[in-house]
A and B are shown apart, each in its own frame.
Chain A
């Protein structure tokens, strides 16, 4: 066999492998999206209808309570809960992450390494392992079925990661930047906001997106700690589509799409930010 042919076969093989791999990754997601726009009858048809015949927004109208047909699932309430819980916990985790990350990157203090290691080790415990103790404590202090309860859990879940990520970004910024700003007339605080914060912005944004996605998508803990429309989040709400004998696949998929969209939008926004990145031209590398 000559080498050109070998190369071509290698090429074809690698494309086939790539295709198969992408198929495994993409088809479930694609199927959820397709299902969201098709009527339940078509979804459940036997033999299966592979190529969608009917494409409409009825499922979405249904779960949000528009139109003739409605489902008895309070999706708008879940959506609001999810939004409040994810945004609040992300904001708090970012604030703590920024202060913590900055402190770890810039200051020397007692037990610094131990503390940092402790934060990282806390990530090694699977969240679900903590669900029972959390449930017991939360039930004593009345945080079951409360947004605040979930917010606290998500903050605790996210803080180690945000601290770690933001610490790394602040470490990349030479401390001379802040010193130069202080000599230029800034207070330490001004130097942080005017110089160091803008430079670490992309890191803080990516920590934010990770924290948001963790809170937005979390199911296991939320399913234990929430009960009603007061606090149930979208992933927990998905289970409402399963009744004793039926599962409303189309409605469930429509809701899954609703869950995916904000996450997708945010990821794209931040990805752009990350790619734009920052060149540290102020300092000779």
Chain B
């Protein structure tokens, strides 16, 4: 159990800087997810915390100790790798006990701890198998067992679920969450999957191009994205973003169509300002099929080009200002392409981003 602090951390590969002076404080027992598209520096950041990459500048501390110069083995952390990295020439038992054996623990202590970890993860029957004889999910569990058996200060997960099929991924996601509740240790978890980030994290760190874009709880990041990148990255299907300009009390789009500026954001914009109007598909719904039907609404008639039935809801594809826009229909009925629907756009949760910087106008 420890807090982890990154202070102005920079990573260069030769002249190429891939992480640009990031700052982050991770609390005791907190589950923090670093999320972002590939190449955003999230794995590099995690590997710097683990000590597998040198830090070019800045400091990283685990507990109260600055660990910049410490090799991985002295950082008292454990890590689960994307490809599991189990030792193929050892049985599950030896894989689990390897770290303790290296630490020269007594055999009975090792046996005891390995058994405990195996019980937590349900590995009891697999102890004498080698990794080659395990399924993907079982290997994943062994990798996690190897991490918990040493009782480290922090767990680092590097995209641990990306090699699993969709069903198993959901199952293992739950197991990781449960494991965290059970062992109560600081966790830093890297993923490119925003669903994983939303479901697992106490706090999400959204990264892009070596910078931290936003840090916040899943609800904060989802409901109050600081810029268009976070807005479009978090949430599935992604937020609709339409460029336009402020024209008095309205937002005017390129094709001349307009809707009212959301009341709560009126004093954040000035007349003539180029903006990007953003709203989640959940907020554009056929009349009578929405979840946010009170409050400020913008009614409109839209032609549906495609409908994807998901069961409890249907995703509707339509066009606004010449751009493909997604809406949702809750409690759905059959929709045929070409059908024109009366729809409501709820403006209470809509977002406005500055057209030039992409930053949310809420922050000005």
Contact of A179 among B81, B86, B131, B132 (CB under 8 A): B81
Given contacts A180-B79, A183-B72, A186-B102, contact A278 B89 (CB under 8 A): yes
Are A183 and B79 in contact (CB-based, < 8 A)?
yes
Are B83 and A174 in contact (CB-based, < 8 A)?
yes
Q: Which residue on chain A has the smallest CB distance to residue B77?
A: A183
Are B89 and A185 in contact (CB-based, < 8 A)?
no
Are B85 and A282 in contact (CB-based, < 8 A)?
yes
Are A184 and B102 in contact (CB-based, < 8 A)?
yes
Contacts of B102 in A (CB 8 A): 181, 184-186, 190, 194
Task: Report, as a range, how many residues of chain A touch the other chain.
Answer: 20 to 34
Contacts of A185 in B (CB 8 A): 73, 99, 102-103, 150
Given contacts A182-B52, A184-B146, A185-B103, contact A177 B73 (CB under 8 A): no
Residue A48 at the chain B interface, CB threshold 8 Å: no
Given contacts A180-B81, A183-B50, contact A282 B72 (CB under 8 A): no
Are B85 and A281 in contact (CB-based, < 8 A)?
no
Are B78 and A282 in contact (CB-based, < 8 A)?
no
Contacts of B52 in A (CB 8 A): 179, 182-183
A199 to B102: give the CA distance in the assembly, Å.
18
Residue A55 at the chain B interface, CB threshold 8 Å: no
Contacts of A186 in B (CB 8 A): 73, 102
Residue A176 at the chain B interface, CB threshold 8 Å: yes
A177 to B99: give the CA distance in the assembly, Å.
13
Are A199 and B88 in contact (CB-based, < 8 A)?
yes
A154 to B82: give the CA distance in the assembly, Å.
43
Within 8 A of A (CB), among B121-153: 130-134, 136, 139, 146, 150
Residue B189 at the chain A interface, CB threshold 8 Å: no
Are B72 and A179 in contact (CB-based, < 8 A)?
yes
A179 to B53: give the CA distance in the assembly, Å.
10
Residue B163 at the chain A interface, CB threshold 8 Å: yes
Are A183 and B131 in contact (CB-based, < 8 A)?
no
B267 → chain A closest CB, angstroms: 52
Q: Which residue on chain B has the smallest CB distance to residue A186?
A: B102
Are A279 and B132 in contact (CB-based, < 8 A)?
yes
Residue B71 at the chain A interface, CB threshold 8 Å: yes
Contacts of A187 in B (CB 8 A): 71, 73
Having A177-B87, A179-B50, one finds 17 other A-B pairs with CB under 8 Å, namely A174-B83, A176-B82, A179-B52, A179-B81, A182-B52, A183-B52, A183-B73, A186-B102, A190-B102, A199-B88, A281-B130, A281-B131, A282-B84, A282-B86, A282-B88, A282-B139, A284-B84
Q: Which residues of A contact B (CB under 8 A)?
A: 174, 176-177, 179-188, 190, 194-195, 198-199, 278-284
Q: Which residues of B contact A (CB under 8 A)?
A: 50-52, 71-73, 77-79, 81-89, 98-99, 102-103, 130-134, 136, 139, 146, 150, 163
Q: List 29 A-B contacts (CB under 8 A).
A: A174-B85, A176-B81, A177-B87, A180-B81, A180-B85, A180-B86, A180-B87, A181-B98, A182-B52, A182-B71, A182-B73, A183-B72, A184-B78, A185-B103, A185-B150, A186-B73, A190-B102, A195-B87, A199-B88, A278-B88, A279-B88, A280-B88, A280-B132, A281-B131, A281-B134, A281-B139, A283-B85, A283-B86, A284-B84
